[in-house]
């Protein structure tokens, strides 16, 4: 077998789809056998409990979809380079291709993989696919990267996103399939413990489900998206974030569908496009300034007196949905039960933690990374630093969300709070009760318990935060 008719190993990562998949499309188009592979490389991507659980569901759905098309998904665990070397050896593959990642740890690992294979006569290539544009391709007039969203949005709008690719029309199977590990042996649901069956009810993994959800959103919701998207009790947003996170849906497909809706006169379409570009902006920032993932993007925040103690009682109560502030607790409980949290609720919960409780955004970001099934490193970090005030183009620190005012405005009849907070209600909603079935027994909470009293009154918390802010950043 020469290199030109040998199999291509396609290494899937956060790109679990076949439609509009540039790398997989190119591999199939060669007419060579293609071996789809997923490597569980925990040295590089150590996932929190809920994202790991969701990845397990995504892998099962993707493997089933590949099988339906006459292909398969080979699973291996361990450091990527060694796993790929073994697979090349076993299959006689002459190429290893994949879709690019953009965080520095992934880039370093992938560079090592590419260098090793290319210097050993194996064609190693990476492709775009996770974003509308590669993060280095959208630049300011001086060639730098954007630090403010609005000009970034304008720059994106001036570029051509390019057409979406169809699913490959044919797959050539290898002469034999290499051995695969069983997904069940990876126990992807173990870390979420007894929340697993509850979380499962709120997930619809896979590309087929993602495309159906996109259809539903464009058909039913996009027209009212602009007006309704801030009301957490309404089913008004696309709920596509977990699919984007695992690459089950191509952003290019969503972009073109929303563009069509906009041309047809849909009032909310432009707003939806703007949200897709917020995701794009998060990756642009992460690629160009990786410090956004774990350090204050604005260094002047390094001396701000945030608590960084994970045992801080305020932090523990926040994680457990026990702050005594209903809007915040509803948000935290929604996340624990569904793996999602409405965007407005994310902003309120994050603001409360970083401002009223003066707890470091990194602790909040890490708890979200543990609990969100749509966890995304770039959007999570950008979202937290935006709310905290330490990020690029961030909300100013003195803008402290008042959770009560926010509730009055965005949850006027209390439907969202009632959906998630059981205590004190004669007939609590089933969703509110699910929280108590999902949480660890060790938390010792029950729906019959008394609803907690806040550790600090809202006004006192706000004043304390603003006082700390004026001390750290005295007016000049
Ligand atoms: P829609 O309103 O339907 O928006 C469509 C898509 O646009 C989303 O699926 C998402 O991919 C993207 N998008 C929307 N808003 C944002 C935003 N503010 N930033 C980046 N992309 C956006 N999003 C994640 O996907 N993963 C995270 O881990 C995450 N953590 C966050 C943490 C905080 C503190 C905050 C404030 C926001 C965070 N977001 C995160 C962004 C946002 O809350 C979610 O993307 C959104 O709620 C997902 O719901 P949806 O799919 O219905 O969004």
For 45-80, the pLDDT digits (tens) are 899 999 999 999 999 999 999 999 999 999 999 999
Which residues does 4 contact at the CB level (< 8 Å), separation at least 6?
A: 32, 94
What is the rounded average pLDDT for all residues in the chain?
A: 96
| Cα dist from 456 to 313, 325, 347, 362, whole Å | 12, 10, 19, 21
What is the average per-residue pLDDT within 168-182?
95
How many residues appear in the chain? Answer: 476
End-to-end, the C-alpha distance of the chain in Å comes to 73
Closest CA to 344 of 399, 387, 286, 376: 387
Closest CA to 274 of 152, 410, 134, 133: 152
pLDDT at 476: 74
Token couple for 65:
């979809």
Ligand 1 centroid vs 387 CA: distance in angstroms?
A: 13
When computed from its CA atoms, the radius of gyration of the chain, rounded to whole angstroms, is 23
Closest CA to 24 of 168, 125, 173: 168
Q: What is the ipTM of this complex?
A: 0.99
Of the candidate ranges 67-76, 200-209, 216-225, 386-395, the one whose mean pLDDT is the lowest: 386-395
Q: Ligand 1 pocket by C-beta < 6 Å: which residues?
A: 229, 237-241, 244-245, 275-276, 278-279, 282, 343, 346-347, 350, 368, 372, 374-376, 379-380, 383-384, 387
- Under DSSP, the state recorded for 39 is E
Torsion angles phi and psi, residue 39, rounded to 5: -115, 125
> What pTM, to 2 d.p., does this model score?
0.98
Ligand 1 centroid vs 268 CA: distance in angstroms?
A: 16
* Ligand 1: residue whose CA is nearest its atom 17: 278
How far apart are alpha carbons 360 and 350 in whole angstroms? 10
Ligand 1 centroid vs 233 CA: distance in angstroms?
A: 16
Counting ligand 1 atoms within 8 A of each CB, the residue from 279, 284, 389 with the most, and so the one to mutate, is 279
Counting ligand 1 atoms within 8 A of each CB, the residue from 258, 383, 394 with the most, and so the one to mutate, is 383
State the pLDDT confidence band at 396, using cuts at 50, 70 and 90: confident
pLDDT at 1: 55
How far apart are alpha carbons 31 and 42 in whole angstroms? 33
How far apart are alpha carbons 252 and 258 in whole angstroms? 10
Beta partners for 35? 9
Of residues 396 and 141, which shows the higher confidence score? 141
pLDDT at 193: 96
pLDDT at 103: 97
How far apart are alpha carbons 291 and 303 in whole angstroms? 16
How far apart are alpha carbons 326 and 421 in whole angstroms? 7
pLDDT score of 442 more than 80: yes
């Amino acid at each position: 077998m020469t290199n030109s008719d040998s199999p291509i190993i396609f290494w899937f990562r956060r790109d679990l789809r076949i439609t509009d998949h540039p790398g997989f499309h190119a591999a199939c188009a060669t007419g060579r056998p293609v071996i789809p592979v997923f490597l569980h490389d925990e040295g590089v991507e150590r996932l929190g409990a809920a994202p790991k659980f969701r990845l397990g569901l995504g892998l099962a759905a993707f493997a089933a979809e590949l099988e339906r098309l006459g292909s398969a998904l080979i699973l291996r665990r361990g450091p990527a380079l060694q796993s790929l070397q073994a697979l090349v050896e076993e299959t006689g593959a002459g190429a290893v291709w994949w879709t690019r990642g953009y965080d520095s740890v992934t880039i370093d690992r992938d560079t090592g993989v590419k260098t090793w294979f290319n210097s050993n006569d194996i064609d190693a290539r990476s492709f775009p696919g996770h974003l509308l544009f590669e993060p280095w391709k959208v630049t300011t007039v001086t060639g730098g990267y954007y630090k403010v969203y609005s000009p970034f949005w304008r720059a994106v709008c001036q570029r051509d996103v390019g057409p979406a690719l169809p699913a490959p029309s044919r797959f050539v199977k290898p002469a034999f399939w290499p051995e695969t590990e069983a997904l069940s042996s990876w126990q992807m649901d173990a870390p979420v413990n007894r929340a697993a069956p509850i979380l499962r009810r709120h997930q619809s993994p896979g590309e087929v489900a993602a495309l159906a959800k996109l259809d539903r959103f464009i058909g039913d919701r996009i027209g009212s998206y602009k007006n309704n998207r801030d009301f957490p009790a309404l089913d008004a947003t696309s709920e596509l974030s977990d699919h984007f996170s695992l690459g089950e849906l191509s952003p290019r497909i969503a972009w073109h569908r929303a563009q069509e809706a906009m041309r047809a006169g849909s009032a909310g379409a432009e707003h939806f496009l703007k949200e897709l570009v917020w995701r794009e902006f998060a990756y642009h920032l992460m690629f160009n300034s990786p410090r956004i993932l774990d350090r204050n993007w604005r260094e002047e925040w390094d001396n701000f007196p945030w608590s960084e103690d994970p045992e801080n009682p305020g932090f523990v109560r926040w994680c457990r949905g026990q702050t005594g502030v209903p809007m915040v607790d509803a948000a935290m409980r929604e996340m624990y039960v569904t793996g999602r949290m409405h965007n407005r609720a994310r902003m309120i919960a994050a603001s409360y933690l970083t401002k009223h409780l003066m707890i470091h955004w990194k602790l909040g970001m890490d708890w979200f990374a543990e609990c969100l099934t749509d966890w995304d490193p770039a959007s999570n970090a950008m979202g937290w630093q935006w709310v905290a005030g330490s990020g690029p183009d961030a909300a100013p620190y003195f803008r402290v969300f008042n959770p009560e005012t926010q509730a009055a405005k965005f949850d006027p009849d209390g439907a969202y709070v009632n959906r998630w907070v059981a205590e004190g209600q004669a007939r609590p909603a089933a969703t509110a009760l699910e929280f108590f079935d999902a949480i660890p027994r060790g938390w010792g909470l029950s729906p019959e318990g008394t609803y907690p009293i806040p550790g600090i009154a809202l006004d006192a918390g706000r004043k304390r935060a603003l006082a700390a802010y004026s001390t750290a950043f005295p007016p000049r």
